[in-house]
Structure 1
Amino acid sequence: MPVSAPPLNARPVRLGAGLLAVAAAKFLVQLLLSGRYGLHRDEYLYLDMAHHLAWGYKEIPPLLAPLSWLAQAAFGHSVLGVKFFPALFGGLTVLLTGLIAREAGGGRGAQLAAGLAVALAPVYLAMHGLFQPNFLDVFFWTLYGWLVIRFVHTHEPRRLLWLGVAIGLGLLAKYTTAFYVLALVLALLLTPQERPWLLTRWFWGAVGLAALIVLPNLVWQATHHWPVLGHMHKLQETQLTNVSPISFLVEQLPMTLAGAPLWLAGLWFGFTRAGRPYRPLALAYFFVIGLLLLSRGKNYYAAAVYPPLMALGAVFLARKSRPVLPGALVLGIGLTLPLVPALLPVLSVEQLARYVRQLPVAALTRWEDGRQHQLPQDAADMHGWDEYAPLVQRALAQLPPAERAHCIVYGDNYGQAGALNWFGPALGLPRAYTLNGSNAYWMPAPDSVTAFIYANEGDGPEDLRQAFGTVEVVGRVQSPYARVRGSEVLLFRHPRADLRPFVLKRIKEAREGFE
């Protein structure tokens, strides 16, 4: 049976109840399960951003911060509240993927298959359980796919303006949106029937809208000496240096396993005669992969490109032959199910450590340092953070009131400082600071320094040891599953001189550079 785009005047197929049920189930499962191990290292940073709303940060654009503020305003000090928006946007992405299948002429079966593929793909099970910019990135790229397909079906110019608005918001969510935008423009340049639109006032109006929306962040970046460039350079020096182009390509399949047969079919469809209207999305995929290979991006940086292709693949397979689509879906989901306990916390952490040892997927336990460990990195990054606050409380209890009044509580990185600020209020602790990343902007100038409590990942820095008369190890993180296991809380006392100039110098250096 030939596969073709729906006629322009075709009446859209109604959304299936199955797709709506999958979207709702995705939201509820991710919401109720994702916080079982606790919060992730990165989530503590983004929770801290709610107290420092701005048009930009060293690590990310600004859009996640107001969501952080809203989550805490609506849900209070609640892990469930932290997981609300990732789970919500996970459900919305499932729904949007079904809408893409519907727009491409897919019936309820194709819509359901596309939604299930996105709901269960390993990378999305992980992303939609974490309060990180990635869940916004996946949503916006999927939205772009839907808007592009709507436009190529109708060629209604105003849809380009909506696409411009969506791109502007996506750039405020995560800078990797620029990869997809560039890829789409390159794809349209290679698509003869769409190329003329790049010269119209509607296209440039869309560019203007996107630029206007992102302008406040660009102004912030310029007035703060473009810290995003420092952040990218730091990533290239540390995390991305261990990325292998071969492993990046190979891991695209297991990363998207439940939907891999569908997105491969969607790519094929885009290069057939019948799938010609959708060719820009297929071409954009190859440009995205190429750009990420050139920049040594991590494998999951490409995750957002797949939902529209899964939707197109579901439509293509459904029209080729009735049994093909369910067969492809069953194959993908069947291969995915053994990985689910490693991605959703359905097991205790002890059971998880035993379980992942039996899985033949090395990427699950390979961390950004390039080595294998006993747990997936995200799971290890959810343990041990609650141990810092009691240790800091113990250190403060050793200080007389005069010393305590001028004591700085400091974390070696944003995870430790953020965790202290999350768990600390219940124990009456003062706010903790760090000069790591955006936190450098938030540390006030002290009037004097009488003591220093340092949550570190190793030995205390030598300059602090020389500046104080005594240093004591108050305690260490004990959790055997924590990535920060063995991290110390140190108490520095009896300063040898006035430390205010030293601290002010460090704050200035951190604000101008990137730690």
Structure 2
Amino acid sequence: MLSSVSAPAFPAARPGRLGAGLLAVAAAKFLGQLLLSGRYGLHRDEYLYLDMGRHLAWGYKEIPPLLAPLAGLTRAVFGHSVVGVKFFPALFGALTVLLAGLIARRAGGGRGAQLAAGVAVAVAPVYLAMHGLLQPNFLDVFFWTLYGYLIVRFVHTHEPRLLLWLGAAIGLGLLAKYTTAFYVLALLLALLLTPEERPWLATRWFAGGVALALLIFLPNLVWQATHHWPVLGHMHKLQETQLTNVSPLSFLVEQLPMTLAGAPLWLAGLWFGFTRAGRPYRPLVLAYFFVIGLLLLSRGKNYYAAAVYPPLMALGAVYLERKSRPLLLGALALGLLLTLPLVPALLPVLSVERLARYVRALPVQALTRWEDGRQHQLPQDVADMQGWDEYAPLVQRALQRLPPQERAHCIVYGDNYGQAGALNWFGPALGLPRAYTLNGSNSYWMPAPDSVTAFIYANEGDQPEDLKQAFRTMEVVGRVQNPYARVRGSEVLLFRHPKADLRPFVRKRIREAQDGFE
């Protein structure tokens, strides 16, 4: 195996100074996302991840483990604060803006290119949405952009240690979101097709980077193996319930509106990679096409590709700046002008009522197309922020109807992780006990009861027939009334007077949920 290769094939770019404008854009990105993103409340998924923060582990059924400690830190530092929940998404959004500017700088871009790259990443529609939610997506975008930065540095300097840094970053990226594997595979294919970089794949430095990535990712692999690979069950369920509604044509067409503010730049970046001057960056360009191809084959959602664009936006800014400053300014202005009408649909600057009217007038159907493939009155993420505060008062009302001896052994249960997580977020202020669900990773956290005297159940659809058979009485305590909530009409049911000892029934259901993926 080769231990070294020849000197760099490309002259190193001379980085310009990091502009104050880029720093200002990053700061504005952080403050804007932090202060605005919580107006509609928390998202269904955020309730799950906040619960994960209470149950730290090396893996979960839905996601890798990296987001959970950030969620736990959020609760520890900010307490019961919606703005606090938005801290890390906003922070990593600002860091991604800086990384995009640094990529432009390393590729020889001046302050104009750095600023343009930062602005494009800051306000592209998909990033306005992602950087307002405590979800793994903001980490995914950050790490893919970090890979782009390290690769741009490497193709100019061929400094071997950068391969170790890249390996470490990939290991952490895999702990953030499994879609990193798409980029890693795409990048390997791109390097194999790049004669200048291909010899490095046979060096001990590359092997060291691979080993480092695997070492960092190993605890999650061990967790997956010891828990019967729930990630495969999760992927299968996604294919059955959500990805089956993904159209390959829609996936491709929606890449442009999804990245609108930076679309002229990343298109220019793709072109740049096939020019003589942009030859050093061809691995990033080839990796883009491989990522898109892999996502098309796996029927990925349109936003699964979002993380691949910031480095391309930065390279496009460099290319356009080299052509002429007015051309760069015009491309950025065009993207911003097209993006401006979408901002009220992506940042909560309007009331929910006005937002519903506003999105109806927009010609972009992707905004209101949900994962079921149908059109709705609101963007799905906004509908997923509505109605969760109604559950806790209904559960409190149900508990008040129970005498103390029944209340002491009553299980509070949610049909899905959003309901259980929302009850655990709003419940402490009302003195409610912890809520549980067997949905996804929550099945690991539900203790086997020592007695069951009553059952409070927040459903999402039909009333549970098994509980109807197990209890003598069932009462509908109330329903979610918010007209904009995705869970509108969801019921809180009170089951009382069990017909038999329910401990074996509950324990059996817990074991079944832990062994499978619900």
TM-score normalised to structure 1 length: 0.98
**CA positional deviation for 1:8:** 3.8
- Per the alignment, residue 292 of structure 1 pairs with 295
Structure 1 residues without counterparts, runs of 5 or longer: none
Amino acid aligned to 2:413: Y
Q: Is the 8 A contact 1:6 1:105 kept in 2?
A: no
> Does 1:470 pair with 2:473?
yes
CA RMSD, 1 decimal: 1.0
Aligned length: 511
Maintained 8 Å contact 2:13/2:107:
no
**Structure 1 CA distance, aligned partners of 2:304 and 2:232?**
17
Within the alignment, does 1:381 sit opposite 2:409 as a pair? no
Partners of 1:446 and 1:474 in 2: CA distance: 23
Contact 1:266 1:313 in 2 (8 A): yes
Aligned to 1:18: 21
Supply the AA of the counterpart residue of 1:383. Q
Q: Given that residues 167 and 212 in structure 2 are in contact (C-alpha distance below 8 angstroms), is that contact kept between their aligned partners in structure 1?
A: yes
Deviations 1:68-106 (A, max 9, x none): 111111111111110000000000000000000000000
The corresponding residue for 1:206 is 209
Consecutive unaligned residues in structure 2, runs of 5 or more: 1-7
* Matched letter for residue 223 of structure 2: W
| Residue of structure 1 equivalent to 2:314 | 311
User: Displaced runs of 4+ in structure 1, greater than 3 A?
Assistant: 5-11
Q: Deviations over 1:425-456 (max 9, x none)?
A: 00000000000000000000001111000000
Quote how far apart the aligned CAs of 1:11 are.
3.9
3-state SS, counterpart of residue 424 of structure 1: helix
- Select which of 332, 339, 342 maps to 2:342: 339
C-alpha distance in structure 2 between counterparts of 1:10 and 1:434, whole Å = 55
| 1:239-388 aligned within 5 A | 239-388=242-391
User: Of 96, 117, 142, which residue of structure 1 is paired with 2:145?
Assistant: 142
2:155 maps to: 152
C-alpha change, 1:318 and 1:299, in structure 2 (3 Å) is same
**Partner Cα separation in structure 2 for residue 9 and residue 223 of structure 1:** 47
Determine the C-alpha separation between the residues in 2 that align with 1:454 and 1:7. Answer: 64
Secondary structure, aligned partner of 2:299:
coil
| CA–CA separation in structure 2 for the residues paired with 1:10 and 1:139 | 23
2:75 to 72, 75, 81: 72
Contact 1:470 1:494 in 2 (8 A): yes
Give the partner amino acid of 1:340: V
* Alpha-carbon shift at residue 7 of structure 1 (Å): 7.2
Distance 1:458 1:10, change over 3 A: closer
Aligned match for 1:507, one of 506, 510, 514: 510
222, 236, 239: which is aligned to 2:239?
Answer: 236
Q: Deviations over 1:240-283 (max 9, x none)?
A: 11000000000000000000000000001001111100000000
Structure-1 separation of matches of 2:288 and 2:230: 29
- Residues of 2 paired with 1:321 and 1:153: CA distance? 24
Task: Measure the CA separation in 2 of the matches of 1:87 and 1:275.
Answer: 32
Aligned AA (1:157) = P
Residue 123 of structure 1, aligned match among 108, 126, 150: 126
Task: Tell me, yes or no, if structure 1 residue 42 matches structure 2 residue 45.
Answer: yes
In 2: Cα distance, 1:322 partner to 1:350 partner: 42
Distance in 2 of aligned mates of 1:304 and 1:336 = 18
The aligned counterpart of 2:218 is 215
Deviation of 1:458 after TM superposition, in Å, equals 2.2
Is 1:437–2:440 an aligned residue pair? yes
Match of 2:196 among 169, 193, 197: 193
TM-score by length of 2: 0.98
- The equivalent of 2:169 in structure 1 is 166
1:395-438 Cα offsets, whole Å, 9 max, x none, are 00000011111100000000000000000000000000000000
Aligned pairs for 1:96-115 within 5 A: 96-115=99-118
- Aligned to 1:410, what secondary structure does the other structure show? strand
Letter in 1 for 2:94: G
Q: Would the alpha carbon gap of residues 412 and 106 (structure 1) be closer, same or farther in structure 2, given more than 3 Å must change?
A: same
